[in-house]
Amino acid sequence: TNPQTRINYKFFRKLDPKYISLPDSIQTIPDKAFSGCSNLYSIKLPSDLKYIGKEAFACCSNLQTINIPNSVKIIGDGAFKSTKLSNIIIPDSVEYIGSLAFSNSALTSITISNSSNLITIGTSAFSNTKIASFYIPSKISYLSENLFYNSKLESMTIPATIKSIGDYCFNGCENLTNVKILKGVEYIGAYAFGAYASRSGVNTITFDGTQSEWNQIEKDPNYGSSYLKTIKCNDGNISL
């Protein structure tokens, strides 16, 4: 018998405990398993966990402490949205972070190592968070739409492995005034570096290539905002 069949998640949601320790035999946490457990403060995840389901901990409005084991491959859509998690370490085993995974959380710090196996990060995964910096691991080739929308990013280097920057990716990041882009990007989407409402946006992009190479990148006509004034290239500046 699969030990997971003996876990009554509806019971947990009704009980709404402050702390939960899940048995190590569990490899999957189902979708919405603990969603809305507003008293839940901390949870110990199984050591051989592989999958964290969609909205598994969504709207656990007091959840502050969780350690993701280095066995998890998938963090589902909205898994930790609207929680009080402020610091998270993404282990090297994780290959997929779903859309809205940490959106609207209290996240200020996220740690990803340079040996990460992360391949995909879904849309809006870190939108409306307070993260100030983010390391993009080498297996990521696409920055999805709204990925850092309205976050507190202060610095960003986009590596040469990134081919595409999605619509609204850095929109509304009022603390992000300068972005460095290494040569490799082929497409920049609509309002990717735009401003939102009264918030200012990126005003300088430093591009590690020539003006000609910058001009060859396919860009939506509205990839920036009125705040974006200068593209600094290796052979001079482009004024916008």
State the Cα angle at 93 between 150 and 105, rounded to 5°.
25
Asked if residues 6 and 23 have their Cβ atoms less than 8 Å apart, the reply is no
116-132 tens-digit pLDDT: 999 999 999 999 999 99
**What is the model's pLDDT at position 11?**
74
Q: What is the pLDDT of residue 195?
A: 84
Report strand pairing: 230-233 vs 204-208: parallel
Query: How many residues in total does the chain contain?
Result: 240
Burial class (CB in 10 A: 0-12, 13-18, 19+), 58: buried
Nearest Cα to 164, choosing from 115, 123, 225?
Answer: 123
What H or E segment, with its residue span, contains residue 85? Answer: none
Comparing C-alpha atoms, which of 56, 162, 85 is closest to residue 119? 162
What does pTM read for this prediction? 0.93
The pLDDT of residue 1 is above 50: no
Of the candidates 61, 64, 4, 55, which has an alpha carbon nearest to the alpha carbon of residue 34? 55
Return the closest-CA partner of residue 110 out of 144, 78, 86, 81.
86
The closest alpha carbon to 74, from 45, 49, 95, belongs to 95
Query: Distance between CA 232 and CA 238 in Å, rounded?
Result: 6
CA distance 164 to 184: 9
72-129 per-position pLDDT tens digit: 999 999 999 999 999 999 999 999 999 999 999 999 999 999 999 999 999 999 999 9
